[in-house]
């Protein structure tokens, strides 16, 4: 009986703390993935852009991502995706420096730049699709 209880406890612990696969939890197929250096290049360009700064290990990002994907599909928009988990693995210092220059301290965040390089920062952790739509709409 004790052996069965121990096996059940071990099995439950494994299932409870099992690391999830980022691909299973956050669909980013409608976004264009960018690296830290590509994000910097976007900043230096005079082109308008929207970057979704997020990570698949963030529950708020996984909640907001489907709302953003709907907007992308409905409005035929191009959204860049900056995965902070991957960027941290690649070069944590460069990622932190980049995010500090645009005052991003949490994810999910949308960064919108117009052709005059004016930035609009939108922390999307608890916002609705309607609020996000106002932020990303084309002017």
Q: Where are the domains of the chain?
A: 17-136
Nearest to 109 by CA among 96, 99, 97: 99
Q: H/E element holding 101?
A: helix 84-101
- Report residue 130 as tokens: 């309607």
Q: What span, in angstroms and rounded, lies between the C-alpha atoms of 88 and 32?
A: 18
**What class does CATH assign to 17-136?**
alpha beta
Q: What is the pLDDT along the chain (139 residues), one digit of tens a residue?
A: 665 444 445 555 554 454 544 444 688 999 999 999 999 999 998 899 999 999 999 999 999 999 999 999 998 999 999 999 999 999 999 999 999 999 999 999 999 998 777 888 888 875 666 777 777 776 5
Residues paired with residue 111 on neighbouring β-strands, in sequence order: 51, 121
In this prediction the pTM is 0.77
């Amino acid at each position: 009986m004790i052996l069965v209880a121990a096996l059940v406890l071990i099995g439950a612990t494994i299932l409870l703390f099992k690391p999830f696969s980022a691909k299973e939890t956050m669909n980013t197929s409608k976004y264009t993935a960018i690296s830290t250096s590509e994000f910097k290049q976007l900043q230096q360009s005079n082109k308008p852009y929207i970057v979704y700064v997020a990570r698949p290990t963030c529950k708020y990002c996984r909640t907001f991502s489907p709302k953003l994907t709907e907007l992308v599909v409905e409005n035929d928009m191009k959204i860049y995706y900056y995965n902070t988990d991957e960027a941290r693995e690649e070069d944590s210092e460069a990622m932190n420096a980049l995010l500090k220059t645009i005052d991003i301290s949490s994810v999910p965040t949308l960064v919108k730049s117009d052709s005059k390089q004016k930035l609009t920062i939108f922390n999307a952790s608890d916002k609705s699709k309607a609020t996000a739509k106002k932020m990303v709409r084309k002017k």
